[in-house]
């Protein structure tokens, strides 16, 4: 038994020493200046910008590891456009000695993308490789530097000169072909800013598992833990499938949790066609209470579920090219109205305007010519209706023509303050009055109060309400007369 064990131990020990020698030689080779320069050049060509690499190494279990990768900052930013803490490439070792190198997996750890729009309003995109022909079945990497006994080796050029096209290299000197099986991303992050350098959208904890086919198409799955949009919308647990082929990206089967409801969506991006992107989205059973609390607003007393669907197509960063439509409905809604409506309720003594219990709430919008056209907005309670049409700019400016419909119950409760400029409504039992909505989405303005009470009030609604609900300082209550002391006897 010992006679058999001894050769086995010798072979095993020799194999370990050989493996250790290979690892050592590979790491020494990777750290050489010429190889480092060529690796940086190859990766830079792939992403279309100069890439920085701080360190590279090789181990049999992790493969080739490149650490501290980054692209330079763009525009006014001080942080790298793209940073990757680690890029790992696992290779079938036996394929290193063949004409085709098989990469089992490329793994990106902790990549962070930061994008700021250019002065023209576009978010810069990483450049794709110039050759996106589906017939190109492999990815070409710099060849391994040959070892020469008679003299120093000569590095192959990073690009083929035109004069070399007529004299192609012999098969012996051709670069090895590389076939990639899988590309993965772990703990990724992407942040996009608007023109004012405010964070517009952020993607957190991105996970990607994908497979690269021989025709260079990429297909796989995406998982995103959380998205923050405009600082207050927070969809979470996003899952999707994607397919990429020759510059066209399709993201399908998108499902996400949002404020107790669900989002479904589909996106397609094709930089070679117009429109460059197409999108569809649907929202079901989003809770008004949860949505308010998710945005940092008190959700107490609010209820209702939001259903919505819409499409949007166009060119990235060019609002004038956007086209689409959106429809939104709120069912069994109870919510706090805009300040101006609540103040009208205080002024008129109508509790129904202080907290809206809605039978109906619908909106239909059309996006075209750089504007959002408000085809219809209508909200209705048991005793009043408000509807509006008009337009809104992408900067939030409002220009809407609206109508306020009331029934006899509201007119009786208004304490006679509603003016006489109401007209018969198409809704039986109601009269209506027109008014304007202007300003911005953040600070809307309206002349509704002016029209209601028949006098010009302006914007000082709070002052009017305070003066109406409390007596003015000049109106002081008279003190009751004091009793006159009775004269004492003998006075």
Q: Is the pLDDT of residue 485 over 70?
A: no
In degrees, rounded to 5, the angle at the alpha carbon of residue 287 between the alpha carbons of residues 283 and 293 is 120
Q: Is the pLDDT of residue 152 over 50?
A: no
Tell me the C-alpha distance between 307 and 361, whole Å: 11
| Least confident interval from 330-344, 353-367, 458-472 | 458-472
Tell me the C-alpha distance between 141 and 138, whole Å: 10
Tell me the C-alpha distance between 322 and 310, whole Å: 13
Q: Is the pLDDT of residue 238 over 80?
A: yes
* pLDDT, position 35: 58
Domain ranges of the chain: 13-121+176-231, 243-335, 337-469
Q: Tell me which H or E stretch contains 423.
A: strand 423-424
Tell me the C-alpha distance between 238 and 203, whole Å: 10
> Do residues 104 and 181 touch, judged by C-beta distance below 8 A?
yes
| Bridge partners of residue 226, in order along the sequence | 204, 236
CA proximity to 45, closest of 151, 153, 147, 160: 160
> Do residues 350 and 382 touch, judged by C-beta distance below 8 A?
no
Q: What percent of the chain has pLDDT over 70?
A: 62
Best mean pLDDT range from 163-172, 245-254, 296-305: 245-254
pLDDT tens by residue, 50-82: 778 888 777 777 777 888 888 878 766 677 788
| Bridge partners of residue 182, in order along the sequence | 211
Q: Which residues contact 92 (CB under 8 A, 6 or more apart)?
A: 101, 102, 103, 104
Tell me the C-alpha distance between 4 and 7, whole Å: 6
| Least confident interval from 158-172, 221-235, 445-459 | 158-172
> Can the peptide bond before residue 275 be classed as cis, meaning omega within 30 degrees of 0?
yes
Query: Bigger pLDDT: 135 or 284?
Result: 284
* pLDDT, position 257: 96
> Do residues 222 and 242 touch, judged by C-beta distance below 8 A?
yes
| Least confident interval from 86-90, 91-95, 273-277 | 91-95
Q: Summarize the confidence of residues 287-316 as an average pLDDT.
A: 88
Tell me the C-alpha distance between 106 and 96, whole Å: 16
Q: Is the pLDDT of residue 462 over 50?
A: no
Q: Is the pLDDT of residue 400 over 80?
A: yes
State CA 181 to chain mean position distance.
Answer: 29
Tell me the C-alpha distance between 82 and 121, whole Å: 20
- pLDDT class for 448, splitting at 50, 70, 90? confident
Helix count and strand count (H, E) for the chain:
7, 23
pLDDT tens by residue, 35-47: 556 666 666 665 5
Q: Which two tokens stand for residue 237?
A: 């647990």
Tell me the C-alpha distance between 175 and 370, whole Å: 51
- pLDDT class for 464, splitting at 50, 70, 90? very low
* pLDDT, position 230: 82
> Do residues 438 and 444 touch, judged by C-beta distance below 8 A?
yes
Tell me the C-alpha distance between 115 and 121, whole Å: 12
pLDDT tens by residue, 209-219: 999 887 778 89
pLDDT tens by residue, 1-44: 556 665 666 556 656 666 666 666 666 655 566 655 666 666 66
* pLDDT, position 28: 64
- pLDDT class for 488, splitting at 50, 70, 90? very low
Q: Summarize the confidence of residues 205-229 as an average pLDDT.
A: 91
């Amino acid at each position: 038994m010992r006679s058999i064990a001894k050769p086995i131990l010798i072979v095993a020990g020799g194999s370990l020493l050989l493996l250790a020698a290979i690892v050592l030689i590979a790491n020494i080779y990777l750290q050489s200046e010429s190889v480092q320069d060529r690796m940086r050049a190859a990766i830079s060509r792939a992403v279309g910008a100069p890439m920085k690499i701080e360190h590279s190494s090789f181990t049999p279990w992790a493969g080739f590891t490149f650490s501290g990768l980054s692209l330079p900052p763009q525009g006014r930013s001080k942080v790298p456009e793209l940073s990757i803490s680690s890029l790992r490439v696992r290779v079938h070792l036996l394929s290193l000695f063949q004409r085709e190198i098989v990469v089992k997996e490329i793994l990106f750890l902790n990549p962070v993308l930061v994008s700021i729009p250019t002065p023209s309003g576009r978010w810069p995109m990483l450049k794709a490789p110039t050759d996106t022909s589906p017939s190109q079945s492999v990815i070409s990497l710099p060849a391994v530097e040959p070892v020469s006994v008679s003299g120093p080796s000569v590095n192959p050029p990073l690009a083929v000169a035109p004069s070399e096209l007529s004299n192609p290299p012999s098969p012996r000197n051709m670069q090895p072909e590389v076939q990639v099986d899988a590309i993965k991303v772990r703990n990724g992050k992407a942040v996009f800013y608007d023109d004012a350098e405010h964070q517009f959208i952020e993607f957190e904890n991105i996970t990607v598992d994908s497979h690269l086919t021989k025709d260079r198409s990429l297909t796989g799955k995406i998982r995103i833990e959380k998205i923050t949009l405009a600082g207050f919308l927070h969809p979470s647990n996003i899952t999707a499938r994607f397919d990429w082929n020759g510059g066209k990206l399709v993201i399908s089967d998108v499902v996400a949790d949002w404020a107790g409801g669900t989002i479904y969506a589909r996106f397609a991006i094709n930089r070679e066609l117009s429109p460059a992107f197409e999108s569809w989205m649907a929202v079901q059973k989003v809770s008004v209470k949860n949505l308010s609390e998710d945005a940092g607003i008190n959700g107490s007393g609010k209820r209702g579920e939001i259903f919505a669907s819409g499409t949007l197509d166009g060119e990235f960063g060019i609002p004038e090219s956007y086209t689409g439509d959106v429809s939104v409905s709120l069912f069994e809604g109870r919510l706090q109205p805009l300040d101006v409506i609540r103040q009208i309720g205080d002024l008129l003594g109508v509790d129904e305007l202080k907290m809206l219990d809605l039978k109906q709430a619908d909106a239909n919008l059309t996006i075209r010519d750089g504007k959002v056209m408000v085809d219809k907005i209508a909200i209705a309670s048991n005793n009043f209706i408000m509807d509006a049409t008009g337009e809104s700019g992408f900067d939030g400016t409002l220009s809407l023509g609206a109508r306020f419909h009331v029934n006899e119950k509201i007119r009786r409760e208004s304490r006679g303050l509603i003016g006489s400029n109401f007209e018969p409504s198409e809704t039986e039992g109601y009269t209506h009055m027109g008014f304007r909505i202007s300003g911005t989405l953040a600070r809307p303005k309206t002349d509704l109060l002016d029209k209601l009470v028949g006098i010009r009030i302006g914007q000082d609604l709070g002052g009017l309400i305070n003066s109406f609900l409390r007596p003015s300082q000049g109106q002081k209550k008279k003190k009751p007369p004091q009793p006159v002391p009775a004269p004492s006897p003998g006075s």
